[in-house]
Amino acid sequence: MMAFKYLITGFLMTMIMVFPLQLHATEHESGVWTIFSTTDSLSADGGTSRWHYWFDAQARYVDVGSGTNQWLVRPAVGYEIRDGVKAWAGFARFRSRNGAGRVADENRYWQQLDWRAGGWLDGNVSMRVRLEQRSIDVGEDLGVVLRFMTKYVRPLSGHEDKSLIIGLEPFVDLRDTDWGGDAGLGQNRVFVGMGWRLSDKVSLETGYMNQYIWVDGAADRTNHLAILTIKARL
């Protein structure tokens, strides 16, 4: 319990430290992200296994109408180390197109540890740490990114199939690259939304994400994003 209190304190301190850095001039854009995600345990002799699968696909439309689009597919396999703690290894293929029509392809190998941190204010907190190795066809350097996500989910009173969702995820670039800028804090994502459990196997999450991106040598960017996520167990 004491360790969990430290985690919550760290989460709140991160929010306090991150937001003051965003008080200078930025460029603002609006967009929409659509996401399909599926994850579950693999069957083993008619039962469940400690092995899990993961797959998500995303279509991102940033600065709607400008032609700036992003697409991502991300499979992975995971192993449940103990109850509520999983280790993952996966690959992601990321393609982006800017307003001028230039396309860039990126490969991302990634490793992740996620766990249930505990209960808080009638809800549940989960956390994950992800390490990504990124290579892109418009640059030669390998980018290494550390991501730390904290997610809070609280069922609404009298509506157990509906939940309040709050998420925070800072990204830290661990090395300089010739295509992604200098090492340091790269971006921060804050999400506030709602979740609906549509059936035993399908749920829906929708809400607002503030994505703040630190840009070396230019104005930082803030993306105001509508998020629509469909989650399913196959």
* Tens-binned pLDDT, residue by residue, of the chain (234 aa): 444 555 555 555 555 445 545 556 789 999 999 999 999 998 766 677 899 999 999 999 988 777 789 999 999 999 999 999 999 999 999 999 988 889 999 999 999 999 999 988 889 999 999 999 999 999 999 999 999 999 999 999 888 899 999 999 999 999 999 998 789 999 999 999 999 999 999 999 999 999 999 998 888 999 999 999 999 998
pLDDT at 12: 53
pLDDT at 22: 54
Adjacent-strand bridge partners of 154: 164
Chain CA centroid to CA 194, Å: 16
The answer to whether residues 87 and 77 touch, using CB atoms and an 8 Å cutoff, is no
pLDDT at 2: 46
What secondary structure letter does DSSP report for 21?
G
Sequence-separated (6 or more) residues with CB below 8 Å from residue 144: 131, 132, 133, 134, 173, 174, 175
The enclosing domain of 105 has a CATH number of 2.40.160
Helix (H) or strand (E) holding 4: helix 2-18
pLDDT at 99: 84
pLDDT at 18: 52
In terms of residue numbers, what domain contains 118?
2-232
pLDDT at 66: 78
Q: In the chain, how many domains are there?
A: 1
Chain CA centroid to CA 211, Å: 11
Give the span between the Cα atoms of 38 and 42, in whole angstroms. Answer: 12
Residue 43: both structure tokens together: 């069957």
Helix (H) or strand (E) holding 169: strand 159-173
